[in-house]
């Protein structure tokens, strides 16, 4: 069904008209100086976003999952031990990928709705006196549950134990939407994608590696070919790719960086927090709860709403799509059916958010959930009205 309604899934996100136009590009020679002029400035732009002065940036023609694979296969060897927590679908998938590559996974189990447990990580790292753990994996923003983890606390655990393991962070649904401090937090490998905070179509896996991680690529023993960071770094240095690049997406990424720069990163983060808080106020007004266990864990890019007993979150998502032409996110994995997700990242304004809140109210009322129509909208309106003057959405055409 054709619809002009915004989407409220946690990615891919709504695409600003300016970026839609940027993707509409005639064919150019990707081995020409014109492409090099397009590509080379992107690396400094992404360093600004992840807040690192010396990270090596790689932009693979893929999605965030390939970014995960790139950082593990380029820095680790068969049998290496990794430490990770399983507390949501995306932390789980990264662990499963590591297992498929023959890595020894030490997994800390936590309820879905909690964040990466810094205390448990600290205990494991302190006990690992032989430094058998080669990498620590953290999902900064768990998209399945709407939970933000404290990456800085994990770095503190590593430092307190004097542990040399690489710190790898999945920032797919946080980077360019929520504050991410690669250098300050001592992150060695950061992963994101084009289809979230960068407001582009899916198709670019963006990775950032510290000098320590880049050194590890020279001795890593896992097999890699298409995702070989050494090949990519060598080609990038000359303004090219080791294979055919997605030229139109590369061009649009440059426009995205300009839009984010024009808005200002602090304003981008403030806008996401403001919109998210209005959504959270609406959920509270409905008498419902978030999957995230406590306020310090609340994500500013996605809210996972726990549905009342006797209701199915998947049915809410289906009815919204079929009756009102609006997309929400379904529950995944251990919380399938128990939640529905409201994505509020990328190109998003308070007015857009209000339309999503109103639609969710109509759907739940249709299905017999005991909420009062307009209650969530009114709560969000009050919050947005009290915080007017906040920055406008990035890249208004």
Q: What percent of the chain has pLDDT over 70?
A: 97
Whether the Cβ atoms of residue 50 and residue 180 lie closer than 8 Å to each other: yes
Name the domain boundary from 231, 261, 291: 261
- Phi then psi for residue 295, to 5 deg, are -55, -35
Q: Are residues 362 and 348 in the same domain?
A: yes
Q: Are residues 42 and 158 in the same domain?
A: yes
Residue 109 counted as domain residue: yes
Whether the Cβ atoms of residue 305 and residue 290 lie closer than 8 Å to each other: yes
Residue 2 counted as domain residue: no
Q: Are residues 207 and 305 in the same domain?
A: no
Q: Residue 347 belongs to a domain with what CATH number?
A: 3.90.1150.10
Q: Residue 230 belongs to a domain with what CATH number?
A: 3.40.640.10
Q: Are residues 240 and 115 in the same domain?
A: yes
Q: Which residues pair with 136 in a beta bridge?
A: 83, 167
* Residue numbers of the domain that contains 130: 17-261
pLDDT tens per residue across span 100-111? 999 999 999 999
Supply the pTM of this predicted model.
0.95
- Which DSSP helix (H) or strand (E) runs through 372? none
Q: What angle do CA 357, 379, 177 make, to 5 degrees?
A: 60
Name the domain boundary from 227, 261, 295: 261
User: What is the spatial distance between Cα 342 and Cα 349, in angstroms, rounded to a whole number?
Assistant: 14
The count of structural domains within the chain is: 2
286 pLDDT higher than 80: yes
Where in 215-367 does DSSP place strands (E)? 289-290, 302-306, 329-330, 339-343
pLDDT tens per residue across span 1-26? 557 899 999 999 999 999 999 999 99
pLDDT tens per residue across span 86-96? 999 999 999 99
User: What is the spatial distance between Cα 200 and Cα 192, in angstroms, rounded to a whole number?
Assistant: 12
Strands 302-306 and 339-343, how do they pair? antiparallel
Name the domain boundary from 228, 244, 261: 261
Q: Are residues 254 and 373 in the same domain?
A: no
């Amino acid at each position: 069904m054709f619809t002009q309604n915004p989407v409220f899934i946690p990615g891919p996100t709504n695409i600003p008209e300016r970026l839609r136009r940027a993707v509409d590009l005639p064919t150019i020679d990707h081995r020409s100086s014109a492409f090099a002029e397009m590509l080379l400035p992107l690396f400094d732009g992404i360093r600004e976003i992840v807040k690192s002065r010396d990270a090596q940036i790689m932009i693979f023609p893929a999605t965030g999952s390939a970014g995960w694979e790139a950082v593990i296969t380029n820095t680790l060897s068969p049998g290496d031990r990794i430490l990770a927590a399983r507390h949501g679908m995306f932390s789980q998938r990264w662990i499963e990928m590591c297992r498929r590559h023959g890595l020894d996974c030490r997994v800390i189990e936590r309820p879905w709705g909690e964040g990466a447990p810094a205390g448990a990580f600290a205990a494991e790292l302190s006990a690992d006196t032989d430094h058998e753990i080669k990498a620590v994996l953290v999902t900064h923003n768990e998209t399945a549950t709407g939970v933000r983890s404290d990456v800085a606390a994990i770095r503190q655990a590593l430092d307190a134990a004097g542990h040399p393991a690489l710190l790898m962070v999945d920032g797919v649904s946080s980077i360019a939407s929520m504050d991410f401090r690669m250098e300050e937090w001592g992150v060695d490998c950061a992963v994101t994608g084009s289809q979230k905070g960068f407001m582009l179509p899916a198709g670019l896996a963006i990775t950032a590696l510290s000098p320590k991680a880049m050194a590890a690529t020279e001795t890593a023993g896992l097999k890699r070919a298409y995702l070989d960071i050494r090949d990519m770094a060598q080609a990038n240095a000359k303004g090219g790719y080791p294979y055919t690049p997605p030229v139109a997406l590369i061009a649009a990424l440059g426009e995205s960086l300009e839009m984010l720069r024009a808005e200002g990163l602090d304003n981008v983060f403030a806008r996401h927090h403001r919109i998210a808080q209005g959504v959270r106020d609406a959920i509270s007004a409905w008498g419902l709860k978030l999957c995230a266990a406590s306020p310090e864990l609340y994500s500013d890019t996605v809210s996972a709403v726990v549905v009342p007993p006797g209701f199915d979150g998947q049915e809410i998502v289906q009815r919204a799509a079929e009756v009102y032409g609006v997309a929400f996110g379904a529950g995944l994995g251990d919380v399938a059916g128990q939640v529905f997700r409201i994505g509020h990242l990328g190109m998003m304004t308070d007015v857009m958010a209000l339309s999503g809140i109103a639609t969710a109210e109509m759907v739940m009322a249709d299905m017999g959930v005991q909420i009062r129509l307009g209650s969530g909208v009114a709560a969000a309106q009050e919050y947005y009205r009290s915080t007017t003057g906040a920055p406008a959405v990035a890249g208004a055409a």
